[in-house]
Chains A and B, each alone.
Chain A
Amino acid sequence: VTEPLSDRPLVLVPARRLDSSTAPDFETELLGRIEGGANAVLLDFSTVDYISSAGLRVILLAGKRLRATGGRLALCGLTEDCLEAFRISGFDTLFPLFASVDEGLGA
């Protein structure tokens, strides 16, 4: 499923490094927004240099929460290193990945 998100999704920009030390803040922020009613979330990864399994877990958690309420999660602008982490873990098949924010917004 790679059609662009509709309904003006919420665009979030994670920290430059998503690892065990930054993942808890990212989790609080992301899940808080979802609980606050955000139904479509686009994560702009263009400035993220590194994502560890702790970061992947937060994205999985957010994806599960959104799916449970009929919402959607997508990512865009993944750097080569992040894309590799998504490919190895198989997460590239779980979420739509777009090249840019514009593409993700369907502009």
Chain B
Amino acid sequence: MIRRALIALIVGVGGAVFVADCLTPTGMVLGVLYGCPVYMAGWLPSRRAPLIAAGVATALTLASPFVSPAHGLVSFTIVNRALAIASIWVSAVLTLLHQQARAVILGQRQELRHANATLERRVAERTEELRLTMVEKERIASELRIASQIQGSILPRTFPPFPERADFEIHAVTLPAREMGGDFYDFFLIDGEHLGIVIADVSGKGVPAAIFMAVTRSLLKATALRAVEPAECLRHVNGLLCPDNEAAMFTTVFYGILHTATGELAYSSAGHQLPYVLRSGGGVQQIAATGGMGLGVLEEARFATKRTVLARGDRLLLYTDGISEAMDDQARMFTERRLRAFLEETDERAPSELIHGLVAEVRRFTGDAPQSDDITALALHFRGRPA
């Protein structure tokens, strides 16, 4: 539609120039005005249009002297016609160049539009991918929260756990570095006079450690409640954990049985840090090593039971390396030395205060550094039977 109107306009303007050219003396360079329709022909999509227009204009320029009523000098006519034709073809060439330049710009514009469309599509795709990833991440985070709650709930968390018992007091805490931890503590009355206490650390952290922790904790408690000696208990659980342990996960465990009537503590360590005894009269000692190896490492590993006696008022601190190896932002460790120094200096008496004081001390040391490992501690205050 537009194309037809444009052709009509070009023909109209060309015709008008022809009429004017015919009406004026042939000596006038009116043919220059043909440049207008030639240029307008450049608006048509065809690359040949300006050339066709120029051809027609040339023919009309040459024809007009024959139909023109006014005649001038022949030499003038020839020179002026030649000038007009030259200008027509210069116009045609300029129009063609212009048309080309416009085509290039149009092409680039189209490319740009295409690129924009592609970009928009990609952005839309990525946004969708990201949304799905976020949904998936949120789902996993939600499952982790639930799993973390379940993990928290399988350890005894009510303190004091045995309010009816005046002969000992116990408190424990575990602070996982991630949502789920590989550390755990446990305590249970095997009978009225024997209290089992456990602290353990699974290799690594996060979900794999948490699963291994849950298995180990269940096996340990089930075995311990059958009132077996500490070393025998660890040997039994090790025998259950070792076969098919493809991932080579392992747990270091300290297991002790306190005879609440006498204060005698029978214990065995499976590659775990040895607890400290805080004597009621002052002084801090680490209890003697028993050898042993992490549970799940070696089927034929040997474990030994040793005994020590807690006097009335003595306290026992079980801990994991999340305390001794807690790091500040310079990767410096809290160390056994600082732990010991804290225990020697603290005047906190109650197990809960001792543990809160210790965790606060570790936090003071690590400052803003993210917690590098699970932190777990269990404190026992042996009071003995009232005299």
Contacts and interface: CB of A to CB of B under 8 A. Distances in A.
A94 B298 contact: yes
A53 B252 contact: yes
Nearest to B335: A81
Contact of B205 (A54, A88, A93): A54
B272 A57 contact: no
B372 interface: yes
Interface in B168-213: 182, 201-206
B249 A52 contact: no
Summarize B's interface: helix, strand, loop or mixed: loop
A20 B271 contact: no
Contact of A90 (B203, B248, B292): B292
Given A53-B321, A88-B272, A89-B252, 5 more contacts: A50-B333, A56-B294, A90-B294, A90-B297, A91-B271
A15 to B, nearest CB: 12
B325 interface: yes
A57 B333 contact: no
A17 interface: yes
A23 B297 contact: no
A53 B320 CA distance: 11
A50 B325 contact: yes
Contact of B373 (A52, A57, A61, A88): A52
Interface residues of B, number: 29
B291 interface: yes
Nearest to B206: A20
A60 interface: yes
A64 interface: yes
Interface residues of A, number: 19
Contact of B204 (A17, A53, A93): A53
- Most B CB contacts (10 A, CB to CB) among A56, A57, A93 go to A57
A89 B204 contact: no
B202 A53 contact: yes
Given A50-B333, A52-B325, A57-B203, A89 B293 contact: yes
Contacts of B273: 88
Contacts of A88: 252, 271-273
> Which 8 interchain pairs have the tightest Cβ spacing?
A90-B293, A61-B248, A57-B203, A89-B271, A53-B203, A54-B204, A90-B271, A60-B248
B155 interface: no
Contacts of B270: 90
A90 B168 CA distance: 32
Nearest to B274: A88
A31 B249 CA distance: 16
A64 B248 contact: yes
Contacts of A20: 204-206, 373
B204 A60 contact: no
